[in-house]
Amino acid sequence: MLRAVQELLLECLLADDPVRALADALPGAADLSAEERAWLAGLDRDGLAVTALIVKKLRFERLTLASREMQDLFDADPARFMQRYREYTAAVPPTGYFPTQEGELFRGWRDGR
């Protein structure tokens, strides 16, 4: 089912180690057909890793463009920024396409909404 493939890929792309995440997820992915499982198992690992980096880079850019608070924190204290960024991205799925949407998601998370 296409939805199961998409959900599994998104989960892997957001993981710290997308290649390992895919290898770990495939055996337990009951909603996949044999063809889908074989296709996913055959994905180019470097391509998957680079795609994950691009996905994360785009989210970082959306957030720092939308939130002056996070942009300033990145400039002043990169380690603290990364801690806050990881907390945010772990709690909030990436559902926005534009910086304004990412900013709304961030402010909602920050304000406990």
pLDDT at residue 2 is higher than 90:
no
- Angle between helix axes 78-91 and 99-110 (nearest 10 degrees) is 90
In the predicted structure, residue 1 carries a pLDDT above the cut 80: no
Q: How far apart are CA 26 and CA 22, in angstroms?
A: 6
User: Rounded CA gap, 19 and 110, in Å?
Assistant: 31
Mean pLDDT score across all residues of the chain: 95
Confirm if 66 and 74 have CB atoms less than 8 A apart.
no
Q: For residues 50 and 5, give the distance between their C-alpha atoms in angstroms, rounded to a whole number.
A: 19
Rounded to 5 degrees, what angle do the CA atoms 98, 99, 103 make? 125
pTM, to two decimals: 0.85
Q: How confident is the model at residue 113 (pLDDT cuts 50, 70, 90)?
A: confident
Q: Summarize pLDDT for 58-103 with one digit per residue, the tens.
A: 999 999 999 999 999 999 999 999 999 999 999 999 999 999 999 9
- The pLDDT, as a whole number, for residue 30 is 87
